[in-house]
Structure 1
Amino acid sequence: MWLQIHGAAMGTCIAPSYTNLFMSELEDKLLASAATKPKIRLRYIDDIFLIWTHGRSNLDTFIMHANKFHPSIKFSSTTSSSHVPFLDVLISLSNGIIHTDLYSKPTDTFNYLHWASCHPYHTKRNIPTV
């Protein structure tokens, strides 16, 4: 038997909806209390993309503030002045222009569902092909 004490159970159909609501409220409160705010912020469930224009020191302060904001929610960060992965996209900045490209994690094995598996046809129909 398993008893989940914190967080949303993985795989439940309602989890993305209430996780989105929770993170949205947390993010709004966090930003309202922050001394400096990101120029752009985008969020997909619990993945957040920021464009920060206030310098590295203020960014470090903002991340420290974010990590103290809730006892169970901690933020990790990947920072770069040239490129950063976000979800399945590599976002890069060159001469003031934002470029995007497909991003695959280094651990991606590109193993897709085998066509002969016992999955419904509609699932197989959505397998990427070359």
Structure 2
Amino acid sequence: MELADFKSDGCSLFVDGTFENPELWKECCIRHDIAYWRGGTEKEREKADLVFKSCIEKKTGNAELAELMYKAVRTGGEPYFPTWYRWGYGWSIGRGYRALSPAEEQMVKSKLREYERKFPDKGN
């Protein structure tokens, strides 16, 4: 299986921050996108979503906003949806929830190093 290059649009279908600070929680979204691009097991997705929720709450101090964003990713991020933001979007559709092999983990690491070289200031 081939792994696509990592891409992130920030918070996808949501804003990246407030009017005062337009990128306030964008870093949380990029880190979450890395997890979603990588994919893996259902437990890994649950963990990624909880880390995302915690990051949003730490950045904003707003538990309600964090819960709203958490529920959105839990609802819309299933690996079976044909979207650009689904769980495991770096892989072909149909992978579902599956642990990465050691070779796939190496592909992930290599692609992330490449991304970080190209975009050193993108919140990695």
TM-score, normalising length: structure 2 = 0.29
Instruction: Answer 1 or 2: which has greater strand percent.
Output: 1
Instruction: Answer 1 or 2: which has greater helix percent.
Output: 2
Q: Which has the higher contact order (CA 8 A, sep 6+)?
A: 2
